[in-house]
């Protein structure tokens, strides 16, 4: 690349350095998968063997699935993230369009409010929102997991930035055709904004799939638990030395996002970069 | 909002003026309608709660009480006397103070190494980014097992080297450092990706110009071109990592519960305890205000530094 000639040895050294760093990065994953395949005797014996001396893969994974409703937790994760993202889009897109393409008094103020809200960290609003849900009587429901997050100022900001790059003639043409502004948002703007929508979606799904704090405080019924809460429960429930099934559970919990990532790497990284660089 | 035809003619002719006004009224209504749901929810779920938190911090409200009293600065006074709070702030600042530089430098290092490779870039990028994707809660539990004094990988390795194992997460002196390791482990990959984006946007010709000027060692390459041009990204990465580290909660709750003896107590954990374990809502609101002040301070520092130092 840039370095031209001196790079053969340099390249090898770099790969070695990266490999050493990768040991630190991958160690937990290796520990997790390896232990999930071992029997409890094998684990108790100690040692650094990565390949199990005594295989118990089937036992561990089925134990993990039966001791806790892990699949139910995953399903909850799916329900919650899909609902949150869908509603986020429904609410954010029209607002982003109005901010980007329409001229109206108050537009500047509203955008300033969006920027201000971007600064508010989620933990800061936890107490009042919790009290609100409590008074509404909807604590410990799917609604309590979904509703607080349907406003995504980040999404509004992202989509507004993107919409501003859409050529006006596209919109004017639609208006000439008699399309209402509402129709324009969904029939014209949304289809052109797929890359930004994907980035938004990735960001939203990852954040809410992995959210531990909020489900922890609003839920008490185990059947509503999302994956992070589920595995934390599994850990506290298994007070004995059942590390095999615990690691199996961990493997299953992280599997969906990791596999999705490995298949769609570029999309993920583009998404993170796009959202990061604003 | 005057339309261009009114301005061009130096004064509105009645017909044009009425037409412009009617059009903008319709546009206004539509715009308001489109943004109303978002505005309502911003008020209800974001701005409103922040104001409520602020006000609540001056009361003695506890969830479940029928009424409350205004107590002025009593909650804040309590904080200053509260050992747990002092520990929480201290630990959180220490955590941020270590995790941010470490994960930023390591992320930058990884980004630079990977970007300069001739092959294997996508592979290494995937490897280093993996921790970011993996649910932190699950990986924290895996880390806990790794650190397990009897069976974990780390203690096995130490045993091989003849060194004694420790109960890393249960000892006062090592609990917080271990949490820092987990924090760095996860933040590294995220920062790396942002730096990689920054590195690829540096124009190649700058390096060529540097070569022509005779300064082509790696160090001068870095110092004269890379570092200055990366400064907006670096600033961004530092601020983002700082804000995220400030909010550390998940591993603390599941692994140490702030212990032993508050050795790993952090601000958000105390907020959680006071607000949702003890239901001392008003005190927790006070903690939230302190938390917000720190977050806003970090953001404010970012904009000041932006104005002064960032090279474009």
pLDDT higher at A271 or B168: B168
Name the residue among B31, B271, B292 with its Cβ closest to that of A102: B31
Ranked by mean pLDDT, the top range of A33-42, B38-47, B128-137 is: B38-47
| pLDDT, tens only, A69-82 | 889 999 999 999 99
Q: Is B34 close to A151, i.e. CB distance below 8 A?
A: no
Q: What does the pLDDT read at residue B107?
A: 94
Ramachandran class of B152: left when φ > 0, alpha when ψ lies in -120 to 50, beta otherwise: beta
Question: Which pLDDT belongs to residue A152?
Answer: 94
Say yes or no for a CB contact (<8 Å) between A22 and B38.
Answer: no
**Residue B59 β-bridge partners:** B70
Per-residue pLDDT at B13: 52
Say if the Cβ atoms of A102 and B30 lie within 8 Å.
Answer: yes
The pLDDT of residue B4 is above 70: no
The domain locations on chain A are 7-65, 69-237
User: Which CATH number is A69-237's, of 1.10.600.10, 1.10.3720.10, 2.160.10.10, 3.40.50.720?
Assistant: 1.10.3720.10
Q: What does the pLDDT average to over A207-217?
A: 94
Most confident range (mean pLDDT) of A136-140, B18-22, B155-159 is A136-140
B28-59 tens-digit pLDDT: 888 888 999 999 999 999 999 999 999 999 99
The single residue listed with the structure tokens 């993230």 is A81
Based on the fold, state whether residues B164 and B105 are members of the same structural domain.
yes
User: Cα separation of A27 and A48, whole Å?
Assistant: 12
Determine contact: B138 vs chain A, CB below 8 A. Answer: yes
Residue B206 lies in a domain: yes
Indicate if the pLDDT at residue B99 is higher than 50: yes
Q: Which two tokens stand for residue B81?
A: 């006397």
Rg (CA), chain A: 24
Task: Name the residue of chain B whose CA is nearest to A256's CA.
Answer: B134
Does B171 fall in a domain?
Answer: yes
pLDDT given for residue A14 in this prediction? 87
What 3 state SS string does chain A have? CCCCCCHHHHHHHHHHHHHHHHHHHHHHHHHHHHHHCECHHHHHHCCCCCCCCCECHHHHHHHHHHHCCHHHHHHHHHHHHHHHHHHHHHHHHHHHHHHHHCCCCCHHHHHHHHHHHHCCCHHHHHHHHHHHHHHHCCCCCHHHHHHHHCCCHHHHHHHHHHHCCCCHHHHHHHHHCCCCHHHHHHHHHHHHCHHHHHHHHHHHHHHHHCCCHHHHHHCCCHHHCCHHHHHHHHHHHCCCCCHHHHHHHHHHHHHHHHHHHHHCHHHHHHHHHHHHHC
More confident residue, A5 or A200: A200
Nearest to B47 among A117, A243, A257 (CB): A117
Of residues B31, B63, B116, nearest to A98 (C-beta): B31
Phi and psi (nearest 5°) for B59? -120, -175
Q: Report whether B61 contacts B75 (CB < 8 A).
A: no
Q: Is there a contact between B45 and A114 if contact means CB atoms under 8 Å apart?
A: no
Q: Which B residues 68-107 touch A at CB under 8 Å?
A: 106
Q: In the structure, what pLDDT confidence band is assigned to residue B9 with cuts at 50, 70 and 90?
A: very low
Is A88:A152 a contact under the CB 8 Å cutoff?
yes
Instruction: Return the ∠ at Cα B255 (arms to B258 and A37), rounded to 5°.
Output: 175
Q: Do B194 and A273 touch (CB under 8 A)?
A: yes
Is B156 in CB contact (< 8 Å) with chain A?
A: yes
B235: part of which helix (H) or strand (E)? Answer: helix B227-246
The SS3 of residue B266 is coil
B81 plus B33 within the same structural domain: no
Planar angle of CA B164, B167, B172, nearest 5 degrees: 115
Which of the listed residues B56, B85, B100 is the one where a domain comes to its end? Answer: B56
User: Does B137 reside within a domain?
Assistant: yes
Place A242 in a pLDDT band, splitting at 50, 70 and 90: confident
CA angle, corner A15, sides to A12 and A19, nearest 5? 140
Backbone angles phi, psi at B60, to 5 degrees: -120, 30
Contact B62, B281 (CB under 8 A): yes
By C-alpha distance, the chain A residue nearest B190 is: A272
Q: Residue A261 corresponds to which tokens in the numbers above? A: 């990532």
Kindly report, residue by residue over A168-192, the tens digit of the pLDDT. 888 888 888 888 888 888 888 888 8
With H, G, I as helix, E, B as strand and everything else as coil, classify residue B71: coil
The DSSP letter of residue B217 is S
| Closest in B50, B136, B296 to A125, CB measured | B50
CATH number at residue B92: 1.10.3720.10
Q: Does position B2 have pLDDT exceeding 50, yes or no?
A: no
Q: Which of B133, B145, B299 sits opposite A31 (nearest CB)?
A: B145
From chain A, the residues in CB contact with B135 under 8 A are 209-210, 227-228, 231, 253-254, 257
* Rounded distance between C-alpha atoms, residue B17 and residue B312, angstroms: 45
B199 contact residues in A (CB cutoff 8 A): none
User: Which chain A residue lies closest to B186 (C-alpha atoms)?
Assistant: A25
| Distance of alpha carbon B258 from alpha carbon B265, whole angstroms | 4
Residue B247: list chain A partners with CB under 8 A: 121, 123
Among residues B85, B92, B101, B50, the alpha carbon closest in space to that of B287 is found at B85
Of B27, B113, B268, the CB nearest to A102: B27
Q: How confident is the model at residue B23 (pLDDT cuts 50, 70, 90)?
A: low
* C-beta separation of A95 from B38 below 8 A: yes
The size of the A-B interface in CB pairs under 8 A is 281
Alpha-carbon dihedral angle through residues B296, B297, B300, B305, given to the nearest 10 degrees: -150
pLDDT digits (tens, 9 = 90+) for B197-214: 888 888 878 888 877 777
Number of domains composing chain B = 2
Please indicate, yes or no, whether residues B152 and B295 belong to a single structural domain of this protein. yes
In a domain? residue B64: no
- Closest-CA distance, B10 to chain A, in angstroms, reads 22
Q: What is the pLDDT of residues B243-268, one digit of tens each?
A: 999 999 999 998 898 888 899 999 99
Note the pLDDT of residue B8: 47
> Which B residues, 195 through 234, put their C-beta within 8 Å of a C-beta on chain A?
196-197, 204, 207, 233
The backbone torsions φ and ψ at residue B69, rounded to the nearest 5 degrees and listed phi first, read -115, 155
B8 vs A: CB within 8 A: no
CB contact under 8 A, B157 and A126: no
Within a domain: B266? yes
The range of the structural domain enclosing residue B129 comes to 74-309
- Among A78, A145, A261, which Cα is nearest to B134's? A261
Furthest-apart CA atoms within chain A: distance in Å: 76
Let me know whether B176 and B261 are in one domain: yes
Same domain assignment for residues B237 and B194: yes
Same structural domain, B136 and B237: yes
pLDDT of residue B310: 55
At residue B14, the pLDDT reads 55
Minimal CA separation from B230 to chain A, in Å: 12
How does residue B1 score in pLDDT terms, banded at 50, 70 and 90?
very low
Considering the domain architecture, whether residues B254 and B302 belong to the same structural domain is answered as: yes
**pTM score:** 0.86
- Categorise residue B69: left if φ over 0, alpha if ψ from -120 to 50, beta otherwise: beta
Q: Which is more confident, B12 or A105?
A: A105
């Amino acid at each position: 690349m840039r370095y031209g000639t001196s790079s053969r040895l340099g390249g090898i050294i770099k790969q070695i350095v990266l490999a050493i760093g990768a040991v630190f990065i991958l160690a937990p994953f290796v520990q997790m998968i390896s232990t999930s395949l071992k029997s409890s005797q094998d684990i108790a014996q100690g040692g650094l063997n990565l390949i199990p001396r005594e295989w118990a893969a089937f036992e561990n994974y089925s134990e993990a699935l039966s001791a806790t409703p892990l699949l139910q937790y995953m399903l909850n994760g799916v329900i919650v993230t899909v609902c949150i993202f869908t509603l986020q889009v429904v609410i954010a897109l029209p607002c982003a369009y109005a901010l980007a393409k329409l001229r109206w008094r108050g537009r500047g103020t509203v955008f300033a409010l969006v920027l201000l809200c971007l600064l508010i960290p989620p933990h800061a609003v936890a107490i009042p929102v919790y009290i609100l849900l409590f008074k509404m009587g909807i604590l410990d429901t799917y609604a309590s997991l979904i509703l607080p997050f349907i406003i995504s100022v980040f999404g509004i900001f992202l989509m507004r930035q993107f919409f501003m790059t859409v050529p006006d003639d596209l919109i004017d043409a639609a208006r000439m055709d008699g399309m209402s502004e509402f129709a324009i948002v969904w029939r014209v703007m949304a289809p052109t904004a797929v890359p930004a929508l994907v980035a938004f979606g990735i960001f939203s799904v990852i954040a809410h799939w992995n959210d531990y704090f909020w489900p922890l405080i609003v839920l008490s019924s185990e059947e509503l638990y999302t994956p992070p809460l589920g595995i934390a429960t599994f850990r506290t429930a298994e007070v004995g030395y059942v590390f095999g099934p615990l690691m199996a559970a961990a493997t299953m919990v992280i599997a969906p996002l990791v596999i999705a990532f490995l298949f769609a790497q570029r999309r993920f990284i583009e998404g993170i970069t796009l959202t990061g660089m604003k | 909002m005057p339309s261009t035809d009114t301005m061009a003619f130096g004064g509105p002719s009645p017909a044009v003026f009425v037409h412009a006004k009617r059009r903008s009224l319709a546009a206004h209504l539509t715009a308001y309608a489109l943004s109303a749901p978002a505005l309502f929810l911003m008020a209800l779920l974001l701005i409103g709660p922040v104001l409520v938190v602020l006000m609540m911090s001056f009361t003695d409200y506890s969830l479940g009480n029928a009424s409350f009293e205004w107590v002025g600065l009593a909650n804040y006074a309590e904080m200053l006397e509260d050992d747990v709070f002092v520990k929480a702030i201290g630990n959180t600042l220490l955590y941020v103070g270590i995790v941010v530089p470490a994960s930023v430098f390591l992320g930058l290092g990884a980004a630079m190494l990977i970007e300069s490779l001739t092959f294997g870039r996508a592979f290494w990028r995937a490897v280093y980014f993996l921790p970011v994707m993996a649910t932190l809660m699950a990986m924290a539990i895996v880390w806990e097992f790794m650190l397990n004094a009897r069976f974990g990988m780390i203690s096995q390795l130490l045993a091989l080297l003849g060194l004694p194992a420790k109960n890393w997460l249960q000892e006062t002196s090592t609990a917080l450092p271990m949490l820092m390791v987990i924090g760095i482990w996860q933040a590294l990959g995220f920062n790396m990706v942002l730096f990689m984006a920054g590195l690829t946007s540096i124009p190649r010709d700058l390096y060529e110009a540097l070569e022509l000027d005779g300064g082509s060692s790696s160090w001068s390459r870095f110092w004269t071109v890379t570092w200055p041009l990366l400064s907006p990204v670096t600033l961004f990465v530092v601020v983002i990592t700082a804000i995220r580290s400030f909010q550390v909660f998940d591993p603390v709750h599941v692994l140490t519960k702030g212990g032993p003896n508050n050795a790993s107590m952090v601000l958000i954990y105390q907020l959680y305890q006071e607000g949702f374990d003890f239901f001392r809502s008003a005190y927790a609101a006070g903690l939230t205000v302190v938390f917000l002040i720190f977050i806003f301070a970090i953001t404010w520092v970012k904009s000041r530094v932006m104005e002064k130092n960032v090279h474009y």
